[in-house]
Amino acid sequence: MARTTASGSAVEERLEPLPGAEAAAQHIVDGCLRDGPVGSVGLEIEAHCFDVADPLRRPDWDELTEAIAGIPPLPGGSPVTIEPGGAVELSGPPFPDPGAAIAAMASDRAVLRAAFAQAGFGLVSLGADPLRPQARVNPGPRYGAMEQFFRASGTADAGAAMMTSTASVQVNLEAGPRAGWADRVRLAHALGPTMVAIAANSPALGREFTGWQSTRQLIWSQLDSARCGPILGADGDDPASDWARYALRAPVMLAHTPTPMAVTEWVPFADWADGRVLLGDRKPTVTDLEYHLTTLFPPVRPRGFLEVRYLDSVPDAVWPAVVFTLATLLDDAAAADIAAEATESVATAWDRAAQVGLKDRRLHAAAVRCVQAAAERAPAALEESMTVLTRSVEQGRSPADDFADRAEKYGIANAVTQLAQG
C-alpha cells in the first residue's frame, strides 16, 4: 500500500487494491473504536410517513421530496432523509450530553411534524408499519441492489420488510477510554434484550398482529446472522478484533462498478481481499472495505463510536426517557454497574425479549432496575417522560401494548390514522 505524502496521495492509497485480508483486518481494528471520554450523544430517529386522508396509500418519492424541500434548516441541526419505504429519518449531530441531544432532536421533530402536517402527512413512531404492504419508494441504486442481494440469498421477504416497513431509534455513544472498551461493548450488548423489551413497539405487520411485541426485531432475526447478528466473540475481550473477524467473514452485499452491483453469490470479504474471488474483475480497495462495513447491521456497530441499533421507534411521550436510560446505563459508571448485574441473566435473550417483552419475569425485573437507576439520575427536563416510562415498565407494559389496545378498540387502520393526526 502506498505511503501518504503531503501532496495528498492518501486518496490514491484508498483506491489501491488491499494487499489481503490481514491488511483489511488491521484497517478495521485501527479505526473502529476511538479512544476518549464518554458523554457525547448523537440520535437518529425514524418515523413512518402516512397520508392522513388515505393511510393505506404510501406517499411516493416526489411527494416526500417536495415536503422536505420546503423545510428550512432545523434548529437542532438534523438533516432529513428518506428511507427506502418512505420512512423519514432525522440524524442529529453529536451533543455533549444526552439532555442536550434529546432537546435538539425534540425541537427538530416538532418542526418536521408541522411541515409534514401542512402537506397532509402524519409521522407515526412504530417499530414496524402495521398497515401497508412492503414497497420501496426511494429510487436509490443502493436499495435496488440490496433487493437483488436479499432475493439471491433467500431472504427476499425479510429484506424487503427490513428496508421498507421498519423504523428505529438509534443512539450513538462514544467508544470511551481504550482500557474500558471490552466492558463497554459487552454491556452495550448485554443491555440489548432488556432495552428491546422496554422499547418494543411493533406488534403488527401487514394488517395482522404477529404475536411478537417487537416484530421489527423478528424481521432482523430472519436475515443472515453473519450480517445482522451480534459481533462479540466467545469472551468479548477484544471487540475491535471481534468486529474485524465479523466483517471479513460477512458476505459482500454490494460492489461498486461504479454503481452498486448486488453480489449474488456468498463471497466473504476475506475471499475478495485475498484474491480468491474477484468482484468487478478486481480486488477491493480501502474504499470498498469501508463501504462493506456500511452494509453490516449488527445490533451494536463500531464506527469509531458505538451505534446502538436495537430500539424500535417509540412515541414522543417516551423516546426521550428511553434514550436517556440507555445513555445513562452505559455512560454513568455507577448506573453501568447496576445494569451489568441486572441484565446478566437475560444478556442473550434477544428472541424472548422481542416476542414477549416485559411479560417475561426476568426481563421485567431487569427492566425495572435499569429504568429506576436512570430515573434517579434524570434532569428535571426529562421528569415527565421518565415518569411515563417508569410507570409503564413497572406495570410490565411496553409501547406495543398501548398500540395493541388502541388497534383492538378502533381497528389497525383507524389506530394508525389517529396517530398520524397526532
The per-residue pLDDT for range 317-339, each reduced to its tens digit, is 999 999 999 999 999 999 999 99
Region 380-398: what's the mean pLDDT?
98
Beta strands 208-209; 80-82: pairing state: unpaired
Please state which of the ranges 11-25, 146-160, 366-380 shows the lowest mean pLDDT: 11-25
* Cα 61 to Cα 86: distance, rounded to the nearest angstrom: 7
The pTM of the full predicted model, rounded to 2 decimals, is 0.95
The mean of the pLDDT values for the chain is 95
Percent of the chain with pLDDT over 70: 97
Q: Quick check: 7 pLDDT over 60? A: no
* 313-328 b/e (C-beta count within 10 Å ≥ 16 → b): bbbebbbbbbbbbbbb
Q: How confident is the model at residue 156 (pLDDT cuts 50, 70, 90)?
A: very high
Number of neighbouring beta carbons within 10 Å of residue 287: 13
- The answer to whether the beta carbons of residues 220 and 155 sit under 8 Å apart is no
C-alpha cell at 241: 478484533
- The answer to whether the beta carbons of residues 54 and 325 sit under 8 Å apart is no
* Cα 195 to Cα 299: distance, rounded to the nearest angstrom: 12
What pLDDT is recorded for position 407? 98
> What structural domains and CATH numbers belong to the chain?
41-250+296-421 (3.30.590.20)
Region 414-418: what's the mean pLDDT?
97
Q: How confident is the model at residue 251 (pLDDT cuts 50, 70, 90)?
A: very high
The reply to whether omega before 93 is within 30° of 0 (cis) is no
Q: How confident is the model at residue 74 (pLDDT cuts 50, 70, 90)?
A: very high
The predicted-structure confidence for 50-60, as pLDDT tens digits, reads as follows: 999 999 999 99
What pLDDT is recorded for position 1? 36
Region 102-120: what's the mean pLDDT?
97
Q: How confident is the model at residue 403 (pLDDT cuts 50, 70, 90)?
A: very high
- Between 84 and 280, the more confident residue is 84
Region 248-265: what's the mean pLDDT?
93
* Cα 391 to Cα 138: distance, rounded to the nearest angstrom: 39
* Cα 152 to Cα 365: distance, rounded to the nearest angstrom: 42
Neighbouring-strand partners of residue 171: 43, 308
What pLDDT is recorded for position 346? 98
* Cα 203 to Cα 159: distance, rounded to the nearest angstrom: 18
Percent of the chain with pLDDT over 90: 94
Q: Quick check: 8 pLDDT over 70? A: no
- Residues with Cβ within 8 Å of 153's Cβ and at least 6 positions away in sequence, in order, are 159, 224, 251, 264, 266
Q: Quick check: 5 pLDDT over 80? A: no
Q: Quick check: 68 pLDDT over 80? A: yes
What pLDDT is recorded for position 350? 97
What pLDDT is recorded for position 232? 85
What pLDDT is recorded for position 197? 98
Region 67-85: what's the mean pLDDT?
96
What pLDDT is recorded for position 139? 97
* Cα 421 to Cα 191: distance, rounded to the nearest angstrom: 34
Q: How confident is the model at residue 235 (pLDDT cuts 50, 70, 90)?
A: confident
Q: How confident is the model at residue 256 (pLDDT cuts 50, 70, 90)?
A: confident
C-alpha cell at 179: 482500557
- The answer to whether the beta carbons of residues 122 and 112 sit under 8 Å apart is no
- Residues with Cβ within 8 Å of 371's Cβ and at least 6 positions away in sequence, in order, are 198, 321, 325, 386, 389, 390, 393
The predicted-structure confidence for 257-310, as pLDDT tens digits, reads as follows: 888 999 999 999 999 999 999 999 999 999 999 999 999 999 999 999 999 999
Q: 3-state SS of the chain?
A: CCCCCCCCCHHHHHHCECCCHHHHHHHHHHHCECCCCCCCEEEEEEEEEEECCCCCCCCCHHHHHHHHHCCCCCCCCCCEEECCCCCEEEECCCECCHHHHHHHHHHHHHHHHHHHHHCCEEEECCCECCCCCCCCCCCCHHHHHHHHHHHHCCCHHHHHHHHHHECEEEEEECCCCHHHHHHHHHHHHHCHHHHHHHHCCECEECCEECCCCEHHHHHHHCCCHHHHCCCCCCCCCCHHHHHHHHHHHCECCEEECCCEEECCCCCEHHHHHCCCCCECCECCEHHHHHHHHHCCCCCEEECECEEEEEEECCCCCCHHHHHHHHHHHHHCHHHHHHHHHHHHHHCCCHHHHHHHHHHCHHHHHHHHHHHHHHHCCCCHHHHHHHHHHHHHHHCCCCHHHHHHHHHHHHCHHHHHHHHHCC
What pLDDT is recorded for position 369? 98
- The answer to whether the beta carbons of residues 67 and 197 sit under 8 Å apart is no
What pLDDT is recorded for position 258? 84
What pLDDT is recorded for position 309? 98
* Cα 11 to Cα 166: distance, rounded to the nearest angstrom: 36
Region 89-106: what's the mean pLDDT?
98
Sign of the dihedral through C-alpha 311, 317, 320, 321: negative
